[in-house]
Amino acid sequence: MTLYIDPPTWPGHGRLWSHLVSDVSFEELHAFAATIGCPPRAFERDHYDIPEAHYADAVRAGAREVGSKEIVRRLTAAGLRRPKGRPAPPAQTTTALTRGTPLTPTPPPAPTTPSP
């Protein structure tokens, strides 16, 4: 599990904020955020907004300190970047395919008419 946090330099609502991200998955990010007590409402597109007062908590819990540009590089390389103004990618299914399973649904059998 590797999560990253940038310095609390982003102003908003009278505070300074950091961004917490994962370069593996949103599931990993949500799980980590829950362990440090970050509410779900703090999630925005591809990161959690972490107030300066909780920055040290995230670092103590294992988030690696990196710069803001590194946050963007890691999100982009992982395919997890969701910039403002662009729709989120469609939800990916987690259903595993087994060998021989068709990728498209098989059409239902044609209706039969009863014999006289």
Considering the domain boundaries, does residue 116 fall inside one?
no
Q: Is residue 101 part of a domain?
A: no
Q: Is the pLDDT of residue 48 over 60?
A: yes
pLDDT at position 53 is 95
pLDDT > 70? residue 90: no
Whether 91 is covered by a domain: the verdict is: no
pLDDT reported for residue 11: 94
pLDDT at 13 over 60: yes
In a domain, 71, yes or no: yes
Residue ranges making up the domain that contains 56: 3-78
When pLDDT is averaged across residues 12-23 and rounded to a whole number, the result is 94
Percentages helix, strand, coil for the chain (3-state, rounded to 5) are 30, 20, 50
| Euclidean distance between CA atoms 92 and 88, whole angstroms | 11
Structural domains in the chain (count): 1
